[in-house]
Amino acid sequence: MKTRSFLTACLAVVFAIGATAALMSCKPAAGPGDAGAHKLKVITTLFPLYDMARYAGGDKAEVSLLLPPGVEPHSYEPKPTDIIKIGDADVFIYTGKFMEPWAADIVMRVTNKNLLVVDASQGTKMIAAVFHDADEPAGSLDPHIWLDFDNARIMVKGIVNALKAKDSANKDYYEQRASDYISRLAALDSSFKTTLAACKSNEIIYGGHYAFGYLARRYGLRYTAAQGISPDAEPTARDMANLVKQIRKERIKYVFYEELTSPKIAETLAGETGAKLLLLNAAHNLTKDELDKGVSYFDVLMRDLNNLKVGLECQ
């Protein structure tokens, strides 16, 4: 997670080249021949937001993912060039203060007064964070809101409202594409409900950070993660011993591991218990290869469902 001292230093660099940033954040007025030629420039922080905005915007928007491919978001630190990109956009979309605590400070200093900022957590139902550390003090909320499909629907609506506000001439286009995306979310939710309703086990042992609280709650699963909200929070020897004991006692056959980080914790648990490993991807971000191939939010979640079906021994 980012520190305020780093952000202050980063912003100092940006505003040391303030003339460049100001020039980049200013847009020339559209000429008579430019009508309809301009695409909305949208910057998103995490992959779920990118996928939602990319689909809703279609060929009317140029959507970029701020997070570099393959980078785990909890350790991401914004660069001066990233901040300039945000200032040059029409719309900036982030997940909320519990996932990107640096975003509000950056937005306050952006010189582009026409930038529309979207906090995608607005209107969602958030749950309390289970783990607390220096970055997630008591009272924090779990930021992985896109793993509850009702929340995902609300996020899509917030995004499409922003697109319509900046480009009202194409509002019907955005609304139709958002409606299609929401229909796909409903179908995905139905698949999860049907598949996970008939499983031999309902226990997920996760050798990664606490990311699947929303999904587990939605489908009545028991969920134990080895780490806190931040993947930098290493489990203690006692934590690991308790997880090994739990896996053996409940005869759990599969341990799930996390995307984009070392699977060493899951591998240790599997090695101690004879359990097998399966990926459970929280969809924070994708690898460059996956992005190049156009892998979607739905692709990631369907892979998760298939692995849950195996790991929980569903019919």
CB 121 within 8 A of CB 81: no
Cα 169 to Cα 92, 113, 115, 250: the distances in Å are 20, 21, 18, 58
User: Which range marks the domain in which residue 248 is found?
Assistant: 193-311
- Asked if 50 and 84 sit in the same domain, the reply is yes
Average pLDDT, the chain: 88
- Asked if 224 and 259 sit in the same domain, the reply is yes
- Asked if 230 and 296 sit in the same domain, the reply is yes
DSSP 170: G
- Asked if 220 and 295 sit in the same domain, the reply is yes
- Asked if 143 and 232 sit in the same domain, the reply is no
> Distance (Å, rounded) from C-alpha 59 to C-alpha 95?
23
pLDDT of residue 19: 38
Which phi and psi (to 5°) does residue 32 adopt? -60, -30
Q: Is the pLDDT of residue 30 over 90?
A: no
- Asked if 56 and 99 sit in the same domain, the reply is yes
The predicted-structure confidence for 115-170, as pLDDT tens digits, reads as follows 999 999 999 999 998 864 445 555 789 999 999 999 999 999 999 999 999 999 99
Of 190, 215, 245, which one is at a domain's C-terminal end?
190
CB 267 within 8 A of CB 276: no
Which phi and psi (to 5°) does residue 40 adopt? -60, 135
pLDDT of residue 26: 40
Using alpha carbons, select from 59, 48, 44, 46 the residue that is nearest to residue 296.
48
The predicted-structure confidence for 222-255, as pLDDT tens digits, reads as follows 999 999 877 777 899 999 999 999 999 999 999 9
SS3 80: helix
Cα 257 to chain centroid, rounded = 17
The predicted-structure confidence for 263-311, as pLDDT tens digits, reads as follows 999 999 999 999 999 999 999 999 999 999 999 999 999 999 999 999 9
pLDDT of residue 35: 40
Using alpha carbons, select from 14, 10, 33 the residue that is nearest to residue 23.
14
- Asked if 172 and 225 sit in the same domain, the reply is no
CATH number at 230 reads 3.40.50.1980
- Asked if 234 and 158 sit in the same domain, the reply is no
Sign of CA dihedral 192, 198, 202, 206: negative
- Asked if 162 and 216 sit in the same domain, the reply is no
- Asked if 223 and 287 sit in the same domain, the reply is yes
Of 127, 161, 190, which one is at a domain's C-terminal end?
190
- Asked if 165 and 204 sit in the same domain, the reply is no
- Asked if 206 and 162 sit in the same domain, the reply is no
Of 170, 190, 210, which one is at a domain's C-terminal end?
190
Using alpha carbons, select from 73, 53, 66, 2 the residue that is nearest to residue 282.
73
